[in-house]
């Protein structure tokens, strides 16, 4: 007897009536859910403290306003750091970092978001409560399966796995206003956060005790290599010599711009660190900026961080104190303070300067003037002693950050040529720039973004030579 059959709505192929998936194209049939997706996920579970007591004290309309303020503060912090709000669980919020899109710094973003939530809740008006809302936050990282759950009209994609349970249990043991994270989470961000060890805790429903930590604040570490035990650098002598040759020309008054590119993990940052160690005894000023996925859409972010750090802005400084420090720090030879101070103050979100008022122009004009002000500031520093400016992870930089580096380089080359005859050599601008860029690999794995558009050049020997060159470039960072 022939079994009943049906037709796949996608490819029209005949399929058995009991099949859940098409045997030809694999499409789900009938009510069959799509297959789950296994991912590494960082889960943030945030819960409002004292919500039951609030529901007894407040009118339901007032309670809705309080919970709305709390949720808004949480969601703003989560989305600012690139997280995904998965569920609203009454007065709780469940957020994912690593889904629907993943990034290399998902764990760091999740912990920064948790700290930002706690800081944001401190800014919520206390008038509706008599006190500011407070939250407990738990964070865990681990494997999950993201799949469709529910039935009928109530379907949604959700993460399933022990990671969510652990995050919820960690939230329950946190004290009000604190963040608790598992040891597994902190293993992904060693040294980037100041933490307090809370020991091992037996969590309900979890077989083994979990080692947990309280997240106190960001450590202020500028680069992951600052907290990593470095092994000796081997086989990079030629690249170090190339960088040093460019530095020699920079110290002689001829500005240089160098791009260090290569595949992920090949040692680009380690190469720049070794070059920095080689320059340790030479008089120079080293300025470093860092681009990251979480700041890819934030114009001038690495420059703002660099200036804030270089001018010694402290976390507790008021905007007026920072403006005073900015004006004092920019008191350098040949620097046009009335033009530069007001634009840098606005870039740093500082109040307008009384000494140097800003004449507003069109947005395009102000953007160009801000780029020129940054270039002039770096050049003024370079008249004191040679300056080397580095930008890490350029593939995450905003276009305006790249334009800042390019404008500074052009100004340094132009200034060195124009002033070579009448400016003493010991005060010529001596500014060099190093950009560290991850060269993405193409789908064919050859690092060639134009694979599929091949042109045959030369015979077999020439092609073999080019293949050997490509293999060498994948083993070594490219300095150019």
At 278, list the tokens: 């080689």
Quote the CA–CA distance of 360 and 396 in Å, as a whole number: 30
With H, G, I as helix, E, B as strand and everything else as coil, classify residue 431.
strand
Q: Tell me the C-alpha to C-alpha distance, in Å, between residue 373 and each of 239, 300, 307, 341, 361.
A: 33, 13, 13, 8, 15
Report the pLDDT value the prediction gives residue 441, as an integer from 0 to 100. Answer: 45
Tell me which residue of 296, 213, 194, 260 sits closest to 479, measured CA to CA.
260
Quote the CA–CA distance of 440 and 127 in Å, as a whole number: 52
Mean pLDDT, residues 231-245 taken together: 86
Report the pLDDT value the prediction gives residue 455, as an integer from 0 to 100. Answer: 37
Whether pTM > 0.75 for this model: the answer is no
Q: Is residue 446 over pLDDT 80? A: no
Q: Is residue 304 over pLDDT 60? A: yes
Q: For residue 442, what pLDDT band results from cuts at 50, 70 and 90?
A: very low
Q: Is residue 83 over pLDDT 60? A: yes
Q: For residue 471, what pLDDT band results from cuts at 50, 70 and 90?
A: low
Q: Tell me the C-alpha to C-alpha distance, in Å, between residue 264 and each of 259, 267, 361, 427.
A: 15, 8, 42, 39
State residue 158 phi and psi, 5-degree precision.
-140, 155
Check: CB of residue 25 under 8 Å from CB of residue 39.
no
pLDDT tens per residue across span 375-428: 888 888 888 888 888 888 888 887 777 777 777 767 666 554 443 333 333 444
Q: Is residue 236 over pLDDT 90? A: no
At 452, list the tokens: 């599929």
pLDDT tens per residue across span 135-151: 999 999 999 998 877 77
Check: CB of residue 109 under 8 Å from CB of residue 82.
yes
Tell me which residue of 392, 388, 142 sits closest to 264, measured CA to CA.
392
Q: What integer best gives the mean pLDDT of the chain?
A: 79
Quote the CA–CA distance of 44 and 49 in Å, as a whole number: 16
Q: For residue 474, what pLDDT band results from cuts at 50, 70 and 90?
A: low
Mean pLDDT, residues 354-367 taken together: 83
State residue 349 phi and psi, 5-degree precision.
60, 40
Tell me which residue of 40, 158, 148 sits closest to 89, measured CA to CA.
158
- Residue 159, preceding bond cis, omega within 30 degrees? no
Q: Is residue 444 over pLDDT 50? A: no
């Amino acid at each position: 007897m022939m079994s009943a059959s049906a037709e796949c709505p996608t490819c029209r192929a005949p399929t058995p009536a009991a099949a859940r998936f098409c045997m030809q194209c694999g499409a789900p049939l009938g009510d069959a859910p799509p297959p789950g997706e296994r991912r590494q996920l960082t889960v943030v579970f945030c819960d409002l403290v004292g919500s039951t007591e609030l529901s007894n004290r407040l009118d339901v309309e007032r309670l809705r306003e309080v919970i709305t303020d709390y949720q808004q503060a949480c969601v703003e912090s989560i989305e600012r750091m690139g997280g995904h709000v998965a569920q609203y669980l009454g007065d709780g919020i469940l957020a994912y970092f690593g889904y629907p899109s993943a990034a290399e710094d998902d764990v760091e973003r999740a912990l920064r978001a948790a700290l930002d939530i706690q800081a944001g809740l401190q800014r919520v008006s206390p008038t509706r409560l008599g006190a500011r809302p407070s939250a407990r936050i738990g964070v865990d990282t681990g494997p999950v399966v993201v799949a469709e759950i529910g039935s009928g009209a109530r379907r949604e994609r959700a993460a399933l796995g022990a990671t969510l349970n652990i995050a919820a249990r960690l939230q329950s043991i946190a004290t009000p206003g604190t963040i608790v994270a598992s040891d597994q989470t902190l293993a992904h961000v060693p040294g980037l956060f100041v933490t307090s060890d809370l020991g091992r805790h037996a969590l309900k429903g979890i077989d083994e005790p979990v080692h947990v930590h309280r997240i106190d604040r960001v450590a202020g570490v500028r680069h992951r290599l600052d907290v990593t035990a470095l092994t000796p650098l081997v086989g990079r002598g030629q690249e170090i010599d190339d960088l040093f040759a460019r530095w020699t020309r920079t110290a002689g008054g001829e500005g240089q711009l160098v791009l260090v590119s290569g595949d992920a993990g090949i040692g680009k940052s380690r190469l720049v660190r070794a070059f920095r160690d080689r320059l340790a005894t030479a008089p120079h000023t080293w300025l470093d900026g860092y681009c990251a996925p979480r700041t890819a859409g934030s114009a001038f972010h690495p420059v703002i961080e660099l200036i804030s750090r270089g001018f010694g802005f402290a976390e507790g400084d008021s905007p007026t104190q920072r403006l005073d420090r900015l004006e004092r720090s920019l008191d350098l030879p040949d620097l046009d303070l009335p033009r530069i101070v007001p634009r840098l103050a606005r870039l740093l979100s500082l109040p307008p300067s009384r000494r140097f008022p800003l004449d507003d122009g069109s947005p395009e004009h102000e953007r160009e003037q801000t780029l020129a002000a940054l270039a002039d500031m770096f050049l003024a520093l370079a008249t004191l002693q040679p300056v080397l400016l580095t930008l890490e992870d350029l593939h995450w930089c905003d276009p305006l950050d790249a334009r800042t580096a390019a404008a500074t380089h052009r100004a340094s080359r132009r200034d060195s040529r124009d002033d070579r005859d009448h400016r003493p050599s010991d005060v010529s601008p001596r500014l060099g720039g190093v950009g560290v860029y991850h060269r993405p690999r193409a789908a064919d794995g050859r690092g060639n973004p134009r694979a599929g558009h091949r042109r045959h050049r030369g015979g077999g020997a020439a092609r073999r030579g080019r293949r050997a060159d490509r293999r060498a470039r994948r083993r070594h960072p490219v300095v150019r």
